[in-house]
Amino acid sequence: MKIFHGWRLAAAGSSIHFLHSALLLQAFGAYVAVLSEERGWSKTALAGGAALQSIEGAVLGPVLGWMVDRFGPRVMVQGGIVVLSLGFVALSQLDSPGGFYGAMVLIAIGASFSGYFPLSVALVHWFKRWRARALSLMSLGLAAGGIAAPLVGWAMQTYGWRNVALGSAVIILCVGLPLASVVRNKPADIGETPDGLPPAAAVDAAGVAAPPAGREFTAAEALRTRAFWLLGLGHGFALLVVAAVNVHAISHIKEGLGYSLAQAALVITVMTLAQAGGVLLGALMGDRWNKRYVAAGCMLAHMLGLLALTGPRTSGCWAPSPCCTARHGGCAAPSCRRCAPTTSGCRRSG
């Protein structure tokens, strides 16, 4: 039986996100801890690398939109994989804070070009009825990447952070480029239709009516809507606090609580397992319930998780306890990714 290419694209996007998460997002805190200890650089200066990635993404956002329209998401993702790999090569050779920031610039550009934005733009063209489900499947790779956090921490302790960075560059290039070749912009490019259904099909085998076409907005029209700014600001603030937690969590657990690097990374793993559950829940809810209410509920859970993190240290919320980490992780860090498929659906469905 032929598998609809849209699901192949979702799986490839999920695998690329896994590489981003395992080797960059979840591993960044480990790099901060090791570089701070070995090189004596301040955590504030190293955390600037994470801030640089966010700033780079914000600055490149409008340019990315134009480039995706001009060159297509496949070329963008392939180019991003190459630049991301070069960034990790530069990271493995650094000897100064300036070299660290230079490597972070390359990594940020590569991650933006091969990350969530171009992959999502490609994927939403392939789905109408099952859009939230497909976006959730693709986001699952970000959650699954946390499973590799203890392995990355162990590798840094065993082989050194330079070898881990260089190995990451090789893995990203050799695995990422074949995955990027799966990306296609629109179903019509290869003779398929959205959701893999015949063009005239109004009802599927389960008797579910196809959703009406949503209104298309120009960039100028979208910028004049309140929804655009509320979605952008809400999701931006969510990513801000999650990035801060991810950058400093491993250092705090390792130095403040006295755990090894591998044990500290285990906390990230447990948290991302909770995130995976949230993504799967979002896949079930996003195509059945009003996406506005789902996104609002996720943001509320996000807020409650952050309030829980402000509790006393004696609560053990940073100790590698699966019970505690799943509780806080399920409410905090996963929420922004759990909301991503639903907010993407809101943006596309109007």
Q: Give pLDDT tens digits for 31-81.
A: 888 888 888 888 777 877 777 776 776 677 778 878 888 888 999 999 999
List the beta bridge partners of residue 209: 203
What is residue 42's predicted lDDT score, i.e. its pLDDT?
82
Looking at the DSSP bridge assignments, the partners of residue 203 are: 209
Which pLDDT score is estimated for 16? Answer: 95
Q: Is 203 helix (H, G, I), strand (E, B) or coil?
A: strand
Question: d(Cα 180, Cα 71) in Å, to the nearest integer?
Answer: 14
pLDDT at 65: 79
pLDDT for position 247: 67
pLDDT at 196: 79
Instruction: Look at the alpha carbons of 286, 289, 291, 292 in this order and tell me if their dihedral is positive or negative.
Output: negative
Residue reference for tokens 């699966």: 322
Q: Are 35 and 232 in contact (CB under 8 A)?
A: no
The confidence score (pLDDT) of residue 39 equals 85
Which residue stretches of the chain have pLDDT < 70?
Answer: 1, 54, 57-58, 199-215, 241, 243-248, 256, 261-262, 265, 268, 275, 279, 282-284, 286-287, 305-306, 308-350
Q: Give me the sign of the Cα torsion angle 60, 62, 66, 69.
A: positive
Residue whose token pair is 């960034």: 87
Give the integer Cα–Cα distance in Å for 30 and 24: 10
Residues in contact with 74: Cβ distance below 8 Å, sequence separation at least 6, in sequence order: 122, 180, 181, 183, 184, 185
User: Contact, 341 vs 286, CB < 8 A?
Assistant: yes
Q: What is the CATH number of domain 5-189+217-349?
A: 1.20.1250.20
Q: What is the predicted pLDDT for the residue at 19?
A: 94
Residue-range domain boundaries for the chain: 5-189+217-349
pLDDT digits (tens, 9 = 90+) for 224-269: 888 888 877 877 777 776 766 666 677 777 776 777 766 776 776 7
DSSP string, 24-90: IITTHHHHHHHHHHHH---HHHHHHHHHHHHHHHHHHHHHHHHHHHHH-HHHHHHHHHHHHHHHHHH
> Do 183 and 6 touch, CB atoms closer than 8 A?
no
Of the candidates 333, 331, 307, which has an alpha carbon nearest to the alpha carbon of residue 149? 333
Q: Write out the E strands in 81-172.
A: none
What is the structure's pLDDT at 326? 34
**Backbone dihedral region for residue 40 (phi beyond 0: left; psi -120 to 50: alpha; all else: beta):** left
pLDDT at residue 292, as a whole number? 75
**Residue 68 identity (one-letter amino acid):** V
Rounded to a whole number of angstroms, the CA Rg of the chain reads 20
